[in-house]
Amino acid sequence: MSNNNKSNIISGTGRLLFRLVLLILLVYAGYALYKEFFDRPPPLPEGRQTGIYMVEIIDGDTGVLSDGNTVRYIGIDTPEVGEPFYEDAKKLNSHFCLGKQVRIEYDHRRRDRYDRILAYIFVDDSLMINELLVEAGFANVYIFPYDQKNIQYRRRLITAQIRAIDASRGIWSLPPPEPAANYYGNSNSFRFHRPDCRTLNRSDASKMLNFESRYDFLELGFSPCRVCNP
């Protein structure tokens, strides 16, 4: 084989290796770009506070922090004094939170009309107490759409509620209210009602939903009206 042919073969091999390395680099760069812009984890809520302790438990969804603030667990509602599972909710809250360092994460609205902080409560870094109470059947989802812009956390609470309902845990083991022929709900308020409820606002028909089953509203995260108790 002539020197020219050998040189051509070496040159061709070099070009092939160069193209292969270039292809690998392009694939890697494309993957890195995808991870950076399209496969990011959901952004964290806008505000958070760490290094704070829960020093008092008021009830299932309310506590007092070491900085003196009272915190109301956003997105849920636990039974009131005298109602079934009130003590269970309070005990579960105490077991996981009392005396523990917690992380609080805010949503769109940070305080309610009683000047309580509205927050998601985390212990052991990743355990969300709001979600835990719902999962155990000791709280129902209670959404105020204006307050809760974090759709990821809203979905987590609703999913936990569906699991609790399907397993008949806690409040979902109680006999349901007398059924109605159908129910109405408003997507502005995230509440559903009996057809004859005096608080039902039918003024905006575009926001009104109509289902035959209360479960259809519960699995969307709607809460029963406290007046007509659907």
SS (H, E, C) 70-83: EEEECCEECCCCCC
Phi/psi for 101 (5° steps) reads: -75, 130
- Is 178 one of the catalytic residues? no
Catalytic residue among 72, 103, 154, 194: 72
Q: Closest by alpha carbon to 154, among 105, 114, 225?
A: 105
What is the number of helices (H) and of strands (E) in the chain? 5, 12
Q: Is 72 a catalytic residue?
A: yes
Structure token pair of residue 22? 């270039």
46, 80, 83, 212: the active-site residue: 80
Q: Which of 103, 116, 154, 214 is catalytic?
A: 116
- Name the residue with tokens 């606002």: 201
- Please give the distance of CA 82 from its chain centroid, rounded to a whole number: 28
User: Is 111 annotated as catalytic?
Assistant: no
Backbone angles phi, psi at 161, to 5 degrees: -65, -40
User: Any idea which residues carry the catalytic annotation?
Assistant: 72, 80, 116
